[in-house]
């Protein structure tokens, strides 16, 4: 498929891994998804790694800084959402009850970004592209295919994200009697919101979860285990949608893998 060169505002455009061992993360994800990588110096002793899939940017990686570790921030995957103007997105989010964790700032010539925490505690980033539009591949095996907010209060989360990014929402029943909310951008599904899964430990804060596409979810889960990962949710079917599994990498970051059935 062709390389993606731009992302519409409201699209999830960049998954970013914060780890405690970047070298080990490269080995794990390279073995799991076939990613290669380019290291880019960020400053004294700091490196920002761009993962690539068949030569196209697909994700990023950096080591958690000492100040982040001292705050108790664990290894995690962060979700970036494309916006036309990062400063305006920050102002709108703040007016809707969000906490601004990092105000809008320039990332050299690549773009402008901010880190925002929604009213329920889930953190995400906004990205105003300049030199770098975001990932160059989506929904192919080994690339980002879906982004999902797990939250104890979807009813409060929906209006926040709809106001901020212009999403329409579609609620569909799940087998447990609760609803799954699909976020629609210009009529197309771009992400979802669901009640906190029952297997999540009590007290887990709201969070965005990145799903990476797989042609064989069972095979991906087995390979993750062989590489030192832990399968938190074994491969399971989503009626009428596909099959997925939730995995924790060796450093503790959690992600999911999914195969959508057309």
Measure the CA–CA gap between 242 and 222, rounded to whole angstroms: 18
Whether residue 248 sits in one domain with residue 153:
yes
Asked if residue 117 and residue 160 are part of one domain, the reply reads: no
Above 80 in pLDDT, residue 157? yes
Look at residue 211 in the predicted model and tell me its pLDDT: 98
Share of the chain above pLDDT 90, in %: 90
Tell me how far apart the 2 most distant CA atoms of the chain are, in Å.
52
Q: pLDDT tier at 262 (50, 70, 90 boundaries)?
A: low
Q: Tell me, yes or no, whether 77 lies in a domain.
A: yes
For residue 192, give the H/E element and its range. Answer: strand 188-195
CB atoms inside a 10 Å sphere around CB 207 = 21
Tokens of 38: 């380019």
For the residues 219-224, what does the mean pLDDT come to? 98
Give yes or no: residues 118 and 160 share one domain. Answer: no
Whether 180 and 251 share a structural domain? yes
Based on the structure, what is the number of domains in the chain? 2
The mean pLDDT of the chain is 95
CATH of the domain at 82: 3.10.180.10
Element (H, E) at 113: strand 111-117
| Higher pLDDT, residue 230 or 200 | 230
pLDDT tens per residue across span 85-133: 999 999 999 999 999 999 999 999 999 999 999 999 999 999 999 999 9
Counting every residue written for the chain, the total comes to: 262
Q: Does residue 4 carry a pLDDT above 80? A: yes
Of the pLDDT bands very low, low, confident and very high (cuts 50, 70, 90), residue 239 is confident
Residue 230 in domain = yes
My answer on whether 148 and 95 are in the same domain is no
- Token reading at 237: 């079917």
**One domain, residues 155 and 256:** yes
For residue 45, how many C-alpha atoms fall within 13 Å in the half-sphere facing its CB? 4
Residues of the domain holding 76:
12-129
Indicate the pairing of strand 123-129 with strand 111-117: antiparallel
């Amino acid at each position: 498929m062709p390389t993606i060169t731009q992302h519409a505002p409201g699209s999830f455009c960049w998954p970013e891994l914060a780890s405690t061992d970047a070298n080990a993360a490269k080995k794990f994800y390279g073995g799991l998804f076939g990613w290669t990588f380019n290291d880019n110096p960020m400053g004294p002793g700091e490196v920002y790694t761009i993962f690539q899939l068949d030569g196209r940017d697909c994700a990023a990686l950096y080591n958690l800084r000492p100040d982040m570790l001292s705050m108790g921030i664990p290894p995690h995957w962060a979700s970036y959402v494309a916006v036309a103007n990062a400063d305006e997105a920050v102002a709108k989010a703040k007016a809707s009850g969000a906490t601004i964790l990092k105000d809008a700032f320039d990332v050299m010539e690549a773009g402008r970004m901010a880190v925002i925490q929604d009213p329920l505690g889930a953190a995400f980033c906004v990205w105003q592209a300049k030199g770098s539009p975001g990932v160059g591949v989506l929904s192919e095996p080994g690339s980002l295919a879906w982004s999902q907010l797990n939250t104890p209060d979807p009813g409060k989360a929906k209006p926040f994200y709809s106001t901020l990014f212009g999403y329409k929402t579609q609620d569909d029943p799940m087998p447990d009697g609760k609803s799954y909310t699909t976020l629609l951008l210009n009529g197309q599904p771009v992400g979802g919101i669901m009640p906190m899964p029952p297997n999540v430990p009590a007290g887990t804060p709201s969070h965005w979860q990145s799903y990476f596409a797989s042609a064989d979810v069972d095979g991906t889960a087995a390979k993750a285990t062989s590489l030192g990962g832990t399968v938190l949710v074994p491969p399971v079917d989503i009626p009428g949608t596909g099959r997925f599994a939730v995995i924790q990498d060796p450093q503790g970051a959690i992600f999911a893998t999914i195969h959508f059935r057309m």
